[in-house]
Amino acid sequence: MKDSLGSVQSLLVLGGGSDIALATARRLAQDKTKRIILAGRPSERMEAGADLLRGLGAEVRVVEFDALEFAGHDDTLAPLFAEGDIDVVLLAFGVLGDQAADERDPMAAAKVAQTNYVGAVTSSLVVAEALKKQGHGALVVLSSVAAERGRKDNFIYGSSKAGLDTFAQGLGDALQGTGVHVMVVRPGFVESKMTAGRPKSPMSTTPEAVAEGIVDGLRRDADLIWVPAQLRYVFSGLRHLPRPAFRKVVEKQA
């Protein structure tokens, strides 16, 4: 449970090898978070991240978790809450896919949707139930600005994030009064291993900036944050642009 100053004591990360996940875990470990569970597919990256967090004084455990193994999410995640209360669950897994290739390969497109949406739904419901039994805690869900409006260059990824975004908003409302809080995070283009080699978009950000936004949002019990924050105002305009005008804006950015 959070301490008397509201600081996070324990963290569970789903997608423990992602840049944003590790940046957030580092930021929290530098504060007062001393118990961290990194759940994800086994990788040297996640193990190295765990070692770094241990160097910051945190007690770190690495757990094997696969977003696509839907049927096993309950067996994998629910027991983690029996080991002790978890203050924050960060859902940080996701795949970008290759839009052009995935359009030619429907099964590859399905894998993007299953990872980013179906896997997120099943795992979120498991941890939400566990948090409800605790009577407190926060679920932080990484969405994307791509969820706001379909674009021809990323509509498979964007539509999966749009589904997740809507799901997380509704889940947050359903959990009102239970002591559990859901926060949706909409980052812009994040310079990370996921986007390596891709051209940057305007108002690009970094994993560290997203982590800082998450920590600040948790402190304020925010329902939704944008990183950078100015994107909220940019997309409030873009959301209402007629489609022909929106296409021209996208073309200029390409």
- Catalytic residues, by residue number, are 157
Give the sign of the dihedral formed by CA 113, CA 194, CA 120, CA 115: positive
d(CA 220, CA 99): 36
Indicate the length of the chain as a whole number. Answer: 254
For residue 158, count CB atoms less than 10 angstroms from its CB and return exposed for 0-12, middle for 13-18, buried for 19 or more.
buried
| Of residues 155, 159, 79, 84, the one with CA closest to residue 114 | 159
Looking at residue 70, the DSSP 8-state letter turns out to be: G
Query: Which residue's entry shows tokens 């589904």?
Result: 163
Cβ atoms within 10 Å of 108's Cβ, excluding its own? 15
Asked if 183 contacts 218 with a C-beta cutoff of 8 angstroms, the reply is yes
